[in-house]
């Protein structure tokens, strides 16, 4: 995986995390324990910091960046879906950001909230804890139920399991 130091700041990855070889981490990027960072993800901590909390999954094709001095803060046990984009956002513990969703400057997603696929959390918009929000921009459509939490806990465990499975079972095949 390409890791780049930028102006004296280099990515820090917990040894229990797994980062795909095609992911790119630039500057002040901190990856917590048991995190999964998928193929083609780009985490660019050149203007500010990107912090990924323990047990979180940053799936394939995710892009994270921030404006000068801001932080992209992803809490513990968060799922950031395939192709999502975060720019100076705060994502609290156990939240789910759906595939291709966008979280703008100062956007906040509360603990246990779910942002639907293609959702847009606009600049300075906040989704309260425990809510499901969809649309562009997102609107709350109801509370997260226990069945949602159960489903997402199982999904988070699968991605955490990929860390060890990839270390043990992934191998690059020779060109033919």
Q: How far is CA 15 from CA 30, 34, 35, 166, in A?
A: 12, 8, 10, 13
The DSSP result for 33-64, as a single string, is TT-EE-TT-EEEEEEEEEEE-TT-EE-TT-EE
pLDDT in tens, 51-97: 999 999 999 999 999 988 889 999 999 999 999 999 999 999 999 99
Element (DSSP H or E) covering residue 147: helix 146-169
Whether the pLDDT of residue 116 is over 80: the answer is yes
* pTM to 2 decimal places: 0.93
β-sheet bridge partners, residue 13: 31
Do 17 and 40 contact (CB within 8 A), yes or no?
no
What are the tens digits of pLDDT across the range 125-166?
999 999 999 999 999 999 999 999 999 898 888 888 888 999
């Amino acid at each position: 995986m390409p890791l780049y130091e930028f102006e004296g700041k280099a990515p820090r990855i917990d040894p229990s995390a797994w980062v795909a070889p095609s992911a790119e981490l630039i500057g002040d990027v901190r990856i917590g324990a048991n995190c999964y960072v998928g193929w083609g993800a780009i985490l660019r901590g050149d203007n500010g910091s990107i912090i990924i909390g323990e047990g979180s999954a940053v799936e394939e094709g995710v892009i994270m960046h921030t404006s000068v001095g801001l932080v992209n803060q992803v809490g513990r046990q968060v799922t950031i879906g395939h192709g999502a984009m975060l720019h100076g956002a705060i994502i609290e513990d156990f939240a789910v950001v759906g595939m291709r969703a966008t979280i703008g400057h100062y956007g906040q997603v509360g603990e246990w909230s779910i942002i639907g696929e293609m959702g847009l959390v606009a600049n300075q918009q906040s989704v309260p804890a425990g809510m499901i929000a969809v649309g562009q921009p997102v609107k709350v459509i109801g509370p997260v139920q226990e069945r949602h939490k159960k489903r997402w806990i199982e999904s988070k465990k699968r991605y955490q399991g990929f860390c060890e499975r990839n270390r043990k079972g992934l191998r690059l095949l020779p060109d033919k």
